Structure 1
Amino acid sequence: MAHSDTIDQIAERVDHLLLRHEELQRTNALLAQQVQALTSERDQLKSRLAAARARVDALIERLPTSAPASPEASA
């Protein structure tokens, strides 16, 4: 009987490990989806930031250049 009990315990443990493995695979798949979504969002934000910087740079280029302030102008 002890031999049968040992086999039953091993079988139960293997079943538990298989369930845990499946659970971890599902969790890993969900995390991979989240990483993909966040990566996509980050790339979109970087693209928007680059576009905004380009617009700001273009506006700065359009600003009139002022002559350096002379000491006489402040007196």
Structure 2
Amino acid sequence: MTRLPELADRIDRLVLSHEELQRAHALLAAQLEAVTAERDSLKSRLSAARARVDALLDRLPADAAPQGPTE
């Protein structure tokens, strides 16, 4: 019956490993939520900036269209 203590030790290690993985998963889930929120905020800011640039371009007179590079 020496296998019983070995199995008990292995189960203890598995439980500890499982708990550690659960903590790591929770941290990763929180990080994912944070970076997803940051991405969404940046996409929104980019969209607003594009709209402002487009509005400014629409206000330019037709003869003020950009020419090629000047040297």
With the shorter chain as reference, the TM-score category is 0.7 to 0.9
Q: How does 1:1-75 map to 2 (within 5 A)?
A: 3=1, 5-66=2-63
**TM-score normalised over the length of structure 1:** 0.83
Aligned-CA RMSD value:
1.1
Percent identical pairs in the alignment equals 61
**TM-score normalised over the length of structure 2:** 0.88
Aligned equivalents of 1:51, 1:66: Cα separation in 2: 26
Size of the alignment, in residue pairs?
64
Q: What residue identity is the alignment partner of 2:44?
A: S
Could you list the runs of 5+ residues in structure 2 that have no partner in the other structure?
65-71
Could you list the runs of 5+ residues in structure 1 that have no partner in the other structure?
68-75
